[in-house]
Structure 1
Amino acid sequence: MTQPPPPPPHQPPQGGGFGPPADQPQQPQPAQAPQPPAQAPHTPQPPPGYGYPQAGPPPQPPQQPAGYGYPAQPPNPYAQQQPGAHPQPNNPYGAAPQNPYGAAPQNPYGAQQPPPGYGYPQATVPMQAQAGGGSGGKKINAQVAIIVSAVVAIALIVGGGVWYASSDDGAKDDTATSGDKNGGDKDKNGGDGAQGDEGAAPKGSERVPADTAAGVLFQIPAPPVKDEQIHSVAGSWLTDSVYAKSGVNQVTGYDPDTGGTKWTLPLTGQTCGYARQITGDGTTVVLSEAAKRNAKGEHEPCTQITAFNVDSGKKLWSKSVTVSDAEVAFAEATISGGTVAVGGGYSGGAAFDVTTGKVLWQPKVSNCTDVGYAGGARLVAVHKCGDYGNEKYEVQLIDPKTGSVKWGYKVPDGLENIKVISTQPVVFGVDSADITASGASDVFSLDDSGKLLYKIPLEDGEYNHRCEIARTDGCGGIVVGNGKLYVPTKEHDGGADSRMTNEIVAFSLETGKSTGDRIDAGDRYTVFPLRMDGGDLVAYKEGPYDKGDQIVSVNGGSLKQTTLLETPGTRDVRDAISRMVPRSAEALYTDGRLFLGKNLVSKPYTKGEEVYTALGFGAK
């Protein structure tokens, strides 16, 4: 029996504040907001996610201790590799550069080197409740402390949101965090941006609202949660007419301006993965567990694949994959060229026609498997061959309709946990040594024939991007566009008042060197990239304790910043946003509207505390 749809979300009171639903007593508010602290503390961020945990398949053997990554003095990591499962072109890596790793990148901070000691925060989070939210002087709220250990299980990519996929064979790229009026003709990329000339980037489509001061459109209350339980609500999608958000055992479509419920789609169990893309006709895909969780909240295997229309909520098809009389569990889904590909399981990947659900390929008993896929403009597979301890990986560009390999790049031996950051151009990251806080300490850029352009080292602790372990497309806060890799630096002392700040810097995909681009967050703000909008970069700026957060557009050539939206700076709104943890939230922005969604919900830390699964803000 499916659960009834939740009641319509509470509409905010006059003035755009937050509070409990009208039929519940209002919580007492303090007479005035506390004075700002003399010195703003560093805002802790959640550690990188490790993919959605599965209960069904047996766990893999533990990772090898030593030897993971590059040896201290590699003989030549790009030398000829052993043949893989697919034939390779002659000399697939091209002529070896004089230094295959390239010169060390230039100081991304310019002349002034930031002081040490502000690397990626540890998993420990203060448990006391704080009034502020965000960064540059705001402490993380205690609600985050409860779920931070669970957030690492499913971290959805900042800027993850909605990517529009063309119905053509990967001809039209989109990895957008928001809906596209043109059904994917415009590039609103979070990783597959238009490369272009660095000085002549194509103009973006986002326009500045007449008033960038945003009001609260709605807040979606979290479902009741029992003690010690954590529910998955992973999945957000946005079109012109619907904001869809996963709840417990269902997906609900809301009016993006009012929060009124438009439709409810029941699922077999809680969500455990989803495609961030939406096709031109409004179709996307969600993964769900095989059954509802028991009274103890124990996970079920993630085996169900459901395609639905975001505007109407109509289910198009629902499938599972059976191998050796057992249903295969997956962890991620992506769409490209009319194909939905699912991966992240132990048995390999599978693909379906996104409209009909027809099986295009599925796991086979073999020594070689597709670990996972990344979609959007093109479909890229991470392919693995060999027994445990002797695995060899290959990043492959594949035909979405047939699964045939167009070309493959053999990843140097000793590297795994490969994360595809962009599919056009193909850019992927790896951990080159022990597991890092960022999840990607080295980034490889490939040309259109699959040959290596350059390897870009991102020293652990110096940058603030996040790539999930065991997720092929699970990177957030790192974006490709204009022939560059945009990545935020770690937070550092911003000046005389000791407020924290950071910047976004860029590296050339062709040379691996710093381009000299520096996008400053500004006094008391911190910034991270969300996606590309043509040649412009859309970024999220977390404000200090007395101001709202901002969405800005950064011109790809001049680096001029234009504010598109600013959230209210009131205490209750700041607190609600801080509980979302914007850097790990499902953040969707387009046309003057910002939506922040959670991946997981748990019991409130404080009795009577309001917990939300999504917040909507709108500028006019």
Structure 2
Amino acid sequence: MSQPPVPPPSQGRPPQPPPYPQQAGPYQLPQSYGPYQPQPGPLTQGQNPYLQPQFPPPPQQPPTRRRRLPLVLGAVVAVLAVLTTGTVLMLRDDSTRSDGRASATSPPPAPTPTTIDGRQLLTVDAPKPKSSGDYIQTPGAWLTSRAYATGAERAVTGYNPTTGKLAWTVPLSGGLCGASRNVTSAGLVAVVFHATKDAVKSHCTRFAVIDVNKGVKVWEKPITDESVSLGLGLNVAISDTVAAAGWPGGSAAYATSTGAPAWTAPADGCTQEEHLGGKELLTLSYCETSAGMRFRVGERDPGTGEATWRYEVPKAEGAWLVSSEPLVLGLLQNDDGLDADQLVTVSDAGKVQSTIPLGDDYVAGCGEAGGCGATVVSGDTAYLGSDPHSYSAGNRITAFDLTTGKAIRSFPAPDDSTLVPMRAEGKALVAVQKAEPATPAEVLRLDPATGKSTTLMEMPNELSLNSTLHSLISNDVKVPMLYEDGRFFLHTGSGYFAGAASPDPMTLAFTTSRS
């Protein structure tokens, strides 16, 4: 099977520090990376921001557009080369919808909160690895009417969404490698984790589906393809019928309800796959075609593994699945390894319906977390935040008509702050305003029909808390921020290792309820 071409390294890129401690012996990271490898740096060492705020100082001049450094699906050669060296990179917790909520049936909406003043509901400290070889990731956060669940240290944990109290823990044999971004209508999520507690030597070869409403493991199965290794480039997704994982050179899927194997390799002629969950599972593949290696989007038959292609991207340096209904793709046409520079909407007939050029103006959030986490699609509307290009300027959120590709409404951020799209609420958007030193974080409802902005929740205006929320609220979060009925949840799936103190809690939640 031929391998896809790898673009030449970008010029002038500074070496990035490794996310894993240097004392990790033979599993140390290299000092620099190729253009399409994830490049997260180590966690910041320092004091707890509840004791000392950590706001960055204003730059002397506007910064250049920051690199989002996606692991582009087509760069399989570079990724496989890294895997064979025995190095450890940050693992990805990618997959499906951008809001992490139930993907179909949702509970009836609760009464509108009588206050917008948020109080702290839940705080969970970051895990503390005990040895130099211990490396912990906690991907995954999901909200249903019965539970708020997150990844934890060798476990998935569930909390009462009203009281914030721990409700259950599902232990795992090893640390998490990846988790589905969405939860099914039945409250099921998918996770991939290490076979043993040793996060360095054991591979990510265990796959499980967990019922977060009940706090039980539905089933657990092995991933027999050892090329999954330590989970570099891992993507996990779940639909009502199929739970799947994809990584450079491999793919595996199982029936959601029973765990029966669906397929154990990428579709014929393809080298890598990423999946998008929801009612049906959608697959983005990099395949050999008559025109050369191309990205294809389709569905795979869970019985035979055969793929039915819906759309073939003519040519692109990278591609991401943004939405399945309608089908929206984020495409990278440049070879510089930045965020997607255009969104393409594809009709049910497999024809391009509209194209939205993004350039350097908008942040789609496509990259190492899989999908495009900063883009919210609702019906025929897509919401994107702009890149302010300066720490001293605010941004805006723009609503685009996916049938025409044209902008229909913009919402400027108040107080020169940053607005981040979070999820759709009917035909409106729920967004969060990033905290600043003297400005608290807020959850807002933006209505494109009227242009009205309504505050749903305002966090306490405390300098130390503002510092923490400034850090946790971002376009680039790997785990979705969640809001429902006056409750706001944040969770980080970043890696933790010995000797690197986390400045932020692992999980933080607020509520407007006074009970």
TM-score by shorter chain over 0.5: yes
Cα offset, 1:155, TM superposition: 6.6
Aligned partner letter, 2:435: G
Contact 2:93–2:236 (Cα < 8 Å) also in 1: no
Q: 1:364 to 1:340 in 2, by over 3 A?
A: closer
* Residue of structure 1 in register with 2:241 after alignment: 338
Give the aligned residue type for 2:205.
Answer: T
Fraction of identical pairs, as percent: 26
CA offsets 1:380-413 (integer angstroms, 9 cap, x no match): 21133229x9422212245667655555211113
Q: 1:559 to 1:605 in 2, by over 3 A?
A: farther
Could you tell me how far 1:453 is from its partner in structure 2? Answer: 1.1
TM-score (norm 1): 0.64
AA of the residue aligned to 2:328: V
The Cα offsets for residues 254-278 of structure 1, whole Å up to 9 and x where unpaired, read as: 2234432221111122112112222
User: Could you tell me which amino acid in structure 1 is paired with residue 507 of structure 2?
Assistant: A
Query: Does 2:386 match 1:502?
Result: no
| Structure 1 residues 449 and 578: alpha-carbon distance in aligned structure 2, compared to 1, 3 A threshold | same
**1:38, 1:345 → 2: CA distance?**
39
Which residues in structure 2 correspond to 1:264-279 (within 5 Å)?
A: 264-279=169-184
Which residue of 2 is the match for residue 18 of structure 1?
none
User: Counterparts of 1:34 and 1:356 in 2: how far apart (Å)?
Assistant: 47
What one-letter code is carried by the residue in structure 1 that aligns with 2:485? D
Residue pairs, 1:356-395, within 5 angstroms:
356-363=258-265, 366-369=268-271, 371-386=273-288, 390-395=292-297
Contact 1:339 1:352 in 2 (8 A): yes
Paired amino acid for 1:232: Q
Match of 2:441 among 538, 549, 557: 549
Q: Given the superposition, is the C-alpha separation of residues 152 and 358 from structure 1 closer, same or farther in structure 2, using an over 3 Å criterion?
A: closer
8 Å CA contact retained: 1:159, 1:588: no
How has the CA–CA distance of structure 1 residues 598 and 165 changed in structure 2, closer, same or farther, with 3 Å as cutoff? same
1:286 corresponds to which residue? 191
Q: Which ranges in structure 2 are unaligned for 5 or more consecutive residues?
A: 1-47, 83-87
* Paired residues of 1:407 and 1:450 also in contact (CA < 8 A): no
State whether residues 241 and 255 of structure 1, in contact with CA within 8 Å, keep that contact through their aligned partners in structure 2: yes
Q: Any idea what SS the aligned residue of 1:277 has?
A: coil
Q: Please point out which of 329, 336, 341 is paired with 1:435.
A: 336
2:325 to 410, 421, 424: 424
1:512 to 396, 401, 405: 405
- 2:395–2:416 contact (8 Å) kept in structure 1: no
1:74 — aligned with what?
Answer: none
8 Å Cα contact 1:367/1:386 also seen in 2: yes
CA distance 1:47–1:37, change in 2 (3 Å): closer
Q: Quick one: distance in 1 between partners of 2:435 and 2:399? A: 22
After TM superposition, the structure 1 = structure 2 runs for residues 108-119 of structure 1, keeping only pairs within 5 Å, are: none
1:465 paired to 2:364:
yes
CA–CA distance in structure 1, aligned partners of residues 149 and 215 of structure 2: 9
The 3 A distance-change label for structure 1 pair 227 and 569 is: farther
Work out the CA distance in 1 between the residues paired with 2:280 and 2:54.
Answer: 51
Tell me how far apart the structure 2 counterparts of residues 310 and 281 of structure 1 sit (CA, whole Å). 9
* SS across alignment from 2:416: coil
Match of 1:539 among 431, 438, 459: 431
Whole-Å separation in 2 of the counterparts to 1:366 and 1:490:
40
Letter in 2 for 1:317: W
CA contact (8 A) 2:445 2:454 kept: yes
> C-alpha separation between the residues in 2 aligned to 1:305 and 1:589?
28
- Give SS of 1:241's match: coil
What letter matches 1:574 in structure 2?
N
- Map of 1:469-618 to 2, 5 A cutoff? 469=368, 473-491=370-388, 499-515=392-408, 517-585=409-477, 586=479, 587-602=481-496, 611-618=504-511
Deviations 1:549-571 (A, max 9, x none): 11111123112111111111112
Q: Which amino acid aligns with 1:223?
A: P
Cα separation, 1, equivalents of 2:404 and 2:466: 41
1:129-144 matched pairs, under 5 angstroms: none
1:453 and 2:350 aligned: no
AA matched with 1:571: L
Q: Provide closer, same or farther for how the CA distance between residues 576 and 528 of structure 1 changes in structure 2, counting only shifts above 3 A.
A: closer
Report the Cα offset of residue 596 of structure 1. 0.5
| Rounded Cα–Cα distance in structure 1 between residues aligned with 2:197 and 2:133 | 17
Offset at residue 288 of structure 1 (A): 0.9
Match of 2:164 among 236, 252, 259: 259
Cα distance change on mapping 1:45 and 1:353 into 2, 3 Å: farther
Structure 1 CA distance, aligned partners of 2:382 and 2:337? 19
Alpha-carbon contact 1:446-1:453 (below 8 Å) kept: yes
Tell me the equivalent position of 1:128.
Answer: none
- Partner letter of residue 484 of structure 2? T
Query: How much does 1:416 deviate?
Result: 4.1
Deviation at 1:504, TM superposition (A): 0.9
CA distance in 2, matches of 1:373, 1:247: 23
Of 99, 102, 107, which residue of structure 2 is paired with 1:181?
Answer: 107
Deviations 1:314-370 (A, max 9, x none): 1110112325xx4755612222232222223412x3322211111223316943356
Q: Deviation of residue 164 (structure 1)? A: 2.1
| Contact persistence 2:69–2:338 (CA under 8 A) | no
Q: Superposition RMSD on alpha carbons, in Å?
A: 3.9
The separation in 2 between residues aligned to 1:293 and 1:353, in whole angstroms, is 28
The structure-2 alpha-carbon separation of the partners of 1:418 and 1:37, relative to structure 1 and needing over 3 Å to count, comes to: closer
Secondary structure of 1:577 counterpart: helix
Question: How many residues are aligned here?
Answer: 452
User: Structure 2 matches for 1:236-247, cutoff 5 A?
Assistant: 236-247=141-152
Where 1:501 maps in the other structure, the secondary structure is: coil
Distance 1:158 1:379 in 2: 9
CA distance in 1: counterparts of 2:133 and 2:65, whole angstroms? 22
Could you tell me which residue of structure 1 aligns to residue 40 of structure 2? none
Q: Please give the alpha-carbon distance, in whole angstroms, between the structure 2 residues aligned to 1:268 and 1:383.
A: 30
Normalising by the residue count of structure 2, what TM-score does the alignment of the two structures yield?
0.76
Mark the structure with the bigger radius of gyration: 1
Give the Cα–Cα distance (whole angstroms) in 2 for the partners of residues 322 and 155 of structure 1: 20
Question: Residue 611 of structure 1: CA displacement?
Answer: 4.1
